[in-house]
Amino acid sequence: MSLFAIGDLHLSFGTDKPMDIFGPAWENYVEKIKEGFSVLTDEDVCVLCGDISWGLSLEEAEEDFRFIHNLPGRKIILKGNHDYWWTSAAKMNAFLEKHGFGSISILHNNAYEYGENAAICGSRGWFYEESKGSAHDKKLIDREVQRLETSLKAGGEREKYVFLHYPPKYGAYLCPDILRLLREYDVKVCCSGHLHAESLRMAFNGDWEGTKHLCVSGDGIRFRPCKIL
Ligand SMILES: [Fe+2]
Ligand SMILES: [Fe+2]
């Protein structure tokens, strides 16, 4: 059993959003995703770090979920800024159950046990800088910090592996509130996505205050899920 992560699949089976306009990396990206997942087995777990489907509702995202469900392994999904279909956990779980998408689980104010001693935790995160952010941004980051802490607490005494959509550190930017939580809960690895094309150059991959950070945006890792554990 292995733990993988990939962000930003940006699927659009039910909508009309050609992704190749976002650069050559996105040409035939659906085929690339299938090939990338072909190394996983059904024993494996892959966390999808947000920006999953362009669908505006669960109904519009149904074919994207079917595609994800048919990929090998158990998939744990979290919200990105483009996941407009995202709704309450109760509604999403009912939708997944109704369509038989049993290999997909929602990461939202909760955590999942992995193996003997690890916990999969996470939330969407947010870009926030005290000097530049608005009051609205402050509210959003506070809520995200709360969600992440709820998830970390749900992980109990296990070693924490955190998955976010927004990177808490990239280029010269730092998100102090999220980084504080990673430190407080002694988080081993923090994966995030959101960055694409040119902005991938600002992605931070390395150790920061005891946590290993990894950018797992689909186009940054050639749509091959990144092995975490
Ligand atoms: Fe994003
Ligand atoms: Fe994205």
What does the pLDDT read at residue 127? Answer: 85
| Phi and psi torsions of 24, nearest 5° | -60, -25
Q: How far is the CA of 155 from the centre of ligand 2 (A)?
A: 27
Listed as own residue / partner, the contacts of 199-202 with beta carbons closer than 8 Å and 24 or more positions apart are 199/170, 202/170, 202/171
Q: Which domain holds residue 85?
A: 3-227
Q: Rounded mean pLDDT of the chain?
A: 96
Altogether, the residues listed in the chain come to a count of: 229
Query: For the chain, what is the radius of gyration of the CA atoms?
Result: 16
How remote is the CA of residue 197 from the centroid of ligand 1, in Å?
Answer: 12
> Residue 59 has which token pair?
């109904």
pLDDT at res. 47: 99
How many Å lie between the centroid of ligand 1 and the Cα of residue 99? 26
- Ligand 1 centroid, distance to 54 Cα (angstroms): 11
Distance in Å, CA 12 to ligand 2 centroid = 13
pLDDT given at position 192: 98
Distance 199 CA to ligand 1 centre (A): 12
Q: Is 100 left (phi over 0), alpha (psi -120 to 50) or beta?
A: left
Whether this model's pTM surpasses 0.75: yes
CA of 157 to the centre of ligand 1 (A): 31
Please list, in sequence order, all residues whose beta carbon lies within 8 angstroms of the beta carbon of residue 207, skipping any fewer than 6 positions away.
213
- In tens digits, what is the pLDDT along the chain, a chain of 229 residues? 999 999 999 999 998 898 988 899 999 999 999 999 999 999 999 999 999 999 999 999 999 999 999 999 999 999 999 999 999 999 999 999 999 999 999 999 999 999 999 999 999 999 877 778 888 888 999 999 999 999 999 999 999 999 999 999 999 999 999 999 999 999 999 999 999 999 999 999 999 999 999 999 999 999 999 999 9
* Strand ranges, E, within 96-175: 104-106, 112-114, 118-123, 159-164, 169-170, 173-174
Spacing, Cα 135 to ligand 1 middle (Å) = 21
Choose among 200, 179, 177, 198: nearest CA to 190.
179
β partners of residue 113: 119
Q: How would you class 149 by CB atoms within 10 Å of its CB: exposed for 0-12, middle for 13-18, buried for 19 or more?
A: middle
pLDDT in tens, 103-129: 999 999 999 999 999 999 999 999 877
| C-alpha span between 123 and 54 (Å, rounded) | 19
- The C-alpha angle with vertex 106 and arms to 197 and 2, in degrees rounded to 5, equals 70
C-alpha of residue 196 to centroid of ligand 2, in Å: 7
CA of 116 to the centre of ligand 1 (A): 32
Distance 63 CA to ligand 1 centre (A): 20
Ligand nearest to the CA of 79: 1
Ligand 2 centroid to residue 156 C-alpha, Å: 30
CATH code: domain of residue 219: 3.60.21.10
The Å distance, Cα 211 to ligand 2 centre, comes to: 23
Among residues 220, 219, 218, the alpha carbon closest in space to that of 46 is found at 218
159 contacts: CB under 8 Å, gap ≥ 6: 117, 118, 119, 186, 188
Number of domains in the chain: 1
Q: For position 128, what pLDDT does the model report?
A: 78
pLDDT digits over 79-103, tens only? 999 999 999 999 999 999 999 999 9
